[in-house]
Amino acid sequence: MSRHVVIVGGGIAGLATAYYLQKIAAADAVPLQITLVERDARLGGKIVTALEDGFVVEGGPDSFITQKPWALQLCRELGLSDRLMGTNDAQRAVYIWRRGRLRKMPDGMLLVVPTRFLPFITSDVISWPGKLRMGLDLFIPPRQDDADESLAAFIRRRLGQEALDVLAEPMMAGIHVSDAERLSLLATFPRYRDIERKYGSLTRGMIASRRAQARAASASGNGHGRTTVFMTLRDGLQELVSAIGGALTATLITGRGVHAIARTAVGYRLTLDDGRALDADAVVLATPAYVSAALLRPLKPELADRLEAIRYVSTATVSLGFAAADLARPLNGFGFVVPRQEPTRLLACTWTSTKFTHRARPGAVLLRAFVGGPRREDLVALDDKALIALVREELAGIMGISATPILARVYRWPRGNPQYDVGHLERVAQIEALCPPGLYLTGSAYRGVGLPDCIQQGQATAQQVVAALKQVALLTGHSEFRESER
């Protein structure tokens, strides 16, 4: 008798869980029936790509980091190696909008840490007192205890207030669309704490890390097809979703959500929006934490309370295409970020067609602005016309763009960004401990928001599900599972 696993949510975490469940079960000769239920008509969740008039427009993520290998590995495993594209690193530059000018981040910065002296010292991004304060990082003793702290507290402690305001808040907290004063260091940038411990200073640690990266890059060659820090797929990340969907033999139910979950004598019964019921031996919830909370409240209110404590904020992305000839300034970089002290309503803007080739049709460029976040969530509620007008107004002020866009696309992500507040990892451990047997939680709410993290969590969840089902089969004497144990 095969076991039935139902995965709820067809974002990247749910898809990865289904893919690896199928793979591990096949390798272990474990008979599994897998059903994935996605409320939307399409799979992918936050991954959504529109191919329009020669533009490749990403509504959510536009790339994944390769230092965490799971997304790259999955792409390769799915036969997408030829579709992978690196960033145009010859144009790699990031600007900061500060005191009325776009100022280039000095070469050699690793996020917020300078690893090259001359470009940093001659840059106008940070004031002289700010630079001197950052230099004190070389002398400040490392923190000794293991307690979590906010990203803001950590950066203020090591590099000072100006580095926090101008660099860390937009560059690091910005990745998580979070307030640096609340963002957990250990849940988001644990490596920084490790570096502080190991080298006694972020600067020393980052210089060592940059040298190691340079050695690895020269060992792997710098020719065409090389791996860059961020990568994407030629026709957008939707290619990954399609490839996983194509590889799945699971039953896919789209356009209907799971409405309720109840315990049965042997497992769980899930009721879909259309009243249909699915019986499952194991359930994986790959939904946002607040959706999982609502589904689990009747089963375990204490678990639901903890899930609800994971906050979310809303954002929107606005992609604008222009005729290249209409732009006053060259798009000689990957874009700009905005410190929160600056009076603009943009969080950041990616110069998409510079960051990656093949994003705009010939003779055109593509930009993508980010709006909303912890301080301006209200903006996400504006209608498309108002959001586009707002972004155009800001880009006119910052980049001098007065032309009418030849393409405009808005994507809203209400409650789209989970917030890893200080103490997040402890909260997640408590949540996991409260999960009843046969019920699993996975995805961006828990142990990493990036695509590689979500894929890795899906893989880990699949391993746990198969291991637990095997265990139950051993206890209850199901012969087909015993076969696979030999």
Instruction: State the residues that interact with ligand FAD by CB under 6 A.
Output: 8-14, 37-40, 45-47, 60-64, 257-258, 286-288, 291, 315, 317, 413, 416-417, 443-444, 449-451, 454
Distances (CA, A) of 82 to 47, 69, 92, 219, 356: 20, 17, 23, 22, 15
Q: Which CB sits closer to ligand FAD, 130 or 372?
A: 372
Q: Which CB sits closer to ligand FAD, 39 or 392?
A: 39
CB-based contact 99:451 (threshold 8 Å): no
**Residue 435's CB: how many other CB atoms inside 10 A?**
15
- The angle at the Cα of 365, spanning 372 to 340, to the nearest 5 degrees, equals 25
Q: Which CB sits closer to ligand FAD, 45 or 114?
A: 45
CB-based contact 125:98 (threshold 8 Å): yes
Q: Which CB sits closer to ligand FAD, 238 or 317?
A: 317
Distances (CA, A) of 6 to 78, 236, 282: 23, 28, 6
Q: Which CB sits closer to ligand FAD, 9 or 130?
A: 9
Query: In angstroms, what is the minimal distance from the CB of 228 to ligand FAD?
Result: 14
Query: In angstroms, what is the minimal distance from the CB of 124 to ligand FAD?
Result: 29
Query: In angstroms, what is the minimal distance from the CB of 287 to ligand FAD?
Result: 4
Q: Which CB sits closer to ligand FAD, 417 or 419?
A: 417
Query: In angstroms, what is the minimal distance from the CB of 337 to ligand FAD?
Result: 14
**Residue 474's CB: how many other CB atoms inside 10 A?**
12
Tokens of 390: 């707002």
Q: Which CB sits closer to ligand FAD, 124 or 279?
A: 279
Query: In angstroms, what is the minimal distance from the CB of 442 to ligand FAD?
Result: 8
Query: In angstroms, what is the minimal distance from the CB of 163 to ligand FAD?
Result: 24
DSSP lists the bridge partners of residue 409 as 319
Residues in Cβ contact with 203 at an 8 Å cutoff, skipping those fewer than 6 apart: 113, 114, 115, 134, 135, 137, 138
Which of these, 98, 47, 96, lies nearest to 74 by C-alpha position?
Answer: 47
Query: In angstroms, what is the minimal distance from the CB of 55 to ligand FAD?
Result: 17
- The angle at the Cα of 411, spanning 406 to 416, to the nearest 5 degrees, equals 160
